[in-house]
């Protein structure tokens, strides 16, 4: 197969994947609760509430302030859910373009880049994550922009590219603190460059203002809002205790990943044995660190593996390019087999049957929005904020089952979260109570509404899990 024909075929596959990406806006089921969480947090910011002080959160705030005007403009219209997903899809496409340039310029060529992106996109996990309204999308965009500039700096040794790297990673941090884990292997490589005197201290010092300026501005914001202490508690200290209440999952608990991990690891070993350039060496370090993090630290959901899937895809594509160079005819065999093997993600990567599909989210949220005012309180259990444009029932308005419990246990910032007291005293107009309908609810007794009280005060409405206060 000629390389030109192969490239056209890969462009065709990519077009299909992009169509699937935008279709995912309407059909994705994963983490819809996260979408609602961040839309609601943006709405709270628009209403003048201060993150960490007025409402619980454990993410960085830049994204909420960015989207607050949009959510405020569409206040009461739940279609903002879809509008925002379209924006996130566009951001994800921009990220893919940056990754394409990164691979083409430093890890292969146009064909390798297209093959890697196609392998990556054949994962439902990757595609679903690329439409979800979470700060991860923006953090990863700025991480890969910074990575590209870092590689250009290594190639050209120009100060401005190191400055751009520092600025990109600092902005990424303002979206999500987990960028630190992605930067970690690059920091290790930077230490090596300093020790080997391949990076001058002067250039590093000159880049520091580009790194520190966004961070200092963020610190000023926290001090001005008076929420610096709560920010540190909720965004950092809380996570040190998270294993006490969350599922302690690791990479081996996700059998859907086994095929691409096997291919990726084999590719990494091959490239390690083969003499590689510094850019490939950095990729191998990044892959190893990310693999170790996903193995040693909690990885509760499939989307935690998005970056690792990408690294695997790049490694596989690079090895396939080596095979293609040796025997061009192997593309007729290797490419279809590879795409089918990795493409099983598209067909068989499991969905959690308990997750709520997008249509139901829109239906429930629309019904609540049409029958409430912003001053009405909506209680979503287990921590799903269907009241996008409504007041919170409590400081712990989501993830109360573990984050709220930890916060309550170690910091005692506010009164304990007690569902029954909230129902009696706060009088929420609507209660979404999915857990009550489950056969085996995994809830602590003091987090369960007394059924007799629920049906005495509320009645099911439209959906069997949605209850409206009677005589209200």
Span 295-327, pLDDT tens digits:
877 677 777 889 999 999 999 999 888 887 767
Q: What is the pLDDT of residues 126-184, one digit of tens each?
A: 888 899 999 999 999 999 999 999 999 999 999 999 999 999 999 999 999 999 999 99
Dump pLDDT digits (tens) for 369-380.
999 999 999 998
User: Looking at residue 348, what is its pLDDT?
Assistant: 44
Query: Residue 439: what pLDDT?
Result: 43
What is the C-alpha end-to-end distance of the chain, expressed in Å?
70
Question: What are residue 430's DSSP bridge partners?
Answer: 378, 468
pLDDT of residue 361: 84
Is 283 in contact with 316 (CB distance < 8 Å)?
no
Closest alpha carbon to 312 in 287, 280, 278, 285: 287
Quick one: average pLDDT of 435-460? 68
Predicted pLDDT at 19: 87
Res 350 pLDDT > 60: no
* Lowest mean pLDDT across 181-185, 215-219, 234-238: 234-238
Residue with tokens 């129902």: 423
Is the per-residue pLDDT at 347 higher than 50? no
Confidence of residue 433 (pLDDT cuts 50, 70, 90): confident
pLDDT on residue 338: 62
Mean pLDDT of 63-85: 95
Tell me which of 90-94, 228-232, 443-447 is least confident. 443-447
Report helix angle 306-326 to 258-273, nearest 10: 60
Whether the per-residue pLDDT at 346 is higher than 90: the answer is: no
DSSP 353-412: TTSPPHHHHHHHHHHHHHT--TTSBEEEETS----TTSB-SSS--SSIIIIIHHHHHHT-
pLDDT value of residue 385:
83
214 pLDDT higher than 80: yes
State CA 180 to chain mean position distance.
Answer: 14
The predicted structure's pLDDT at residue 323: 80
**CA–CA gap between residue 343 and residue 179 (Å, rounded):** 28
Q: What is the mean pLDDT of the chain?
A: 86
User: What residue spans of 80-177 are helical by DSSP H?
Assistant: 80-102, 110-121, 124-129, 135-156, 159-175
Could you report the per-residue pLDDT of 250-289, keeping only the tens digit for each?
Answer: 777 776 777 788 889 999 999 999 878 999 999 999 999 9
54 or 411, which is more confident? 54
Quote the pLDDT of residue 17. Answer: 84
State the pLDDT at residue 24. Answer: 80
């Amino acid at each position: 197969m000629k390389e030109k024909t192969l490239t056209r075929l890969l462009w065709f596959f990519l077009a299909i994947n992009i169509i699937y990406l935008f279709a995912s806006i309407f059909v994705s089921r994963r983490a819809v609760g996260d979408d609602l969480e961040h839309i609601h947090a943006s709405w709270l910011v628009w209403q003048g509430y201060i993150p960490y002080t007025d409402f619980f959160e454990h993410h960085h705030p830049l994204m909420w302030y960015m989207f607050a005007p949009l959510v405020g403009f569409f206040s009461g219209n739940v279609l903002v859910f879809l509008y925002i997903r379209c924006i996130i899809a566009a951001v994800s496409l921009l990220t893919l373009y940056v990754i394409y340039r990164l691979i083409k310029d430093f890890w292969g060529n146009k064909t390798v880049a297209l093959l890697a992106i196609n392998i990556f996109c054949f994962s439902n996990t990757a595609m679903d994550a690329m439409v979800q309204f979470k700060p991860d999308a923006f953090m990863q965009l700025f991480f890969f922009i910074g990575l590209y500039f870092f590689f250009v700096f290594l190639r050209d040794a120009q100060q401005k590219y190191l400055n751009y790297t520092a600025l990109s990673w600092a902005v990424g941090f303002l979206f999500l603190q987990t960028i630190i884990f992605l930067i970690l292997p690059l920091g290790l490589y930077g230490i090596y460059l300093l020790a080997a005197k391949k990076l001058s201290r002067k250039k590093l010092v000159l880049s520091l203002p580009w790194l520190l300026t966004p961070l200092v501005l963020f610190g000023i914001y926290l001090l001005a809002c008076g929420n610096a202490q709560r920010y540190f508690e909720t965004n950092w200290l809380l996570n040190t205790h998270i294993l006490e209440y969350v599922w302690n999952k690791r990479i081996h608990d996700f059998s859907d990943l086994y095929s691409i991990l096997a291919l990726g690891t084999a590719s990494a070993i091959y490239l390690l044995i083969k003499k590689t350039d510094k850019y490939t060496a950095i990729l191998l370090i990044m892959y190893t660190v990310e693999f170790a993090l996903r193995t040693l630290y909690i990885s509760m959901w499939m989307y935690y593996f998005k970056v690792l899937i990408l690294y695997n895809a790049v490694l596989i594509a690079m090895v396939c390019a080596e095979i293609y160079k040796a025997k061009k005819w192997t593309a007729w065999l290797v490419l279809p087999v590879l795409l089918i093997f990795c493409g099983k993600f598209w067909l068989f990567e499991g969905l959690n049957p308990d997750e709520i599909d997008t249509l139901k989210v829109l239906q429930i949220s629309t019904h609540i929005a049409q029958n409430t005012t912003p001053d009405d309180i909506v209680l979503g259990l287990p921590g799903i904020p269907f009241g996008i444009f409504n007041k919170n029932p409590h400081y712990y308005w989501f993830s109360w089952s573990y984050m709220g419990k930890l916060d309550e246990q170690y910091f005692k910032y506010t009164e304990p979260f007690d569902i029954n007291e909230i129902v009696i005293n706060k009088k929420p107009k609507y209660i979404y109570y999915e857990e009550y309908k489950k056969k085996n609810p995994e809830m602590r007794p003091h987090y369960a509404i007394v059924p007799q009280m629920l049906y005495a005060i509320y009645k099911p409405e439209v959906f069997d899990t949605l209850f409206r206060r009677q005589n209200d």
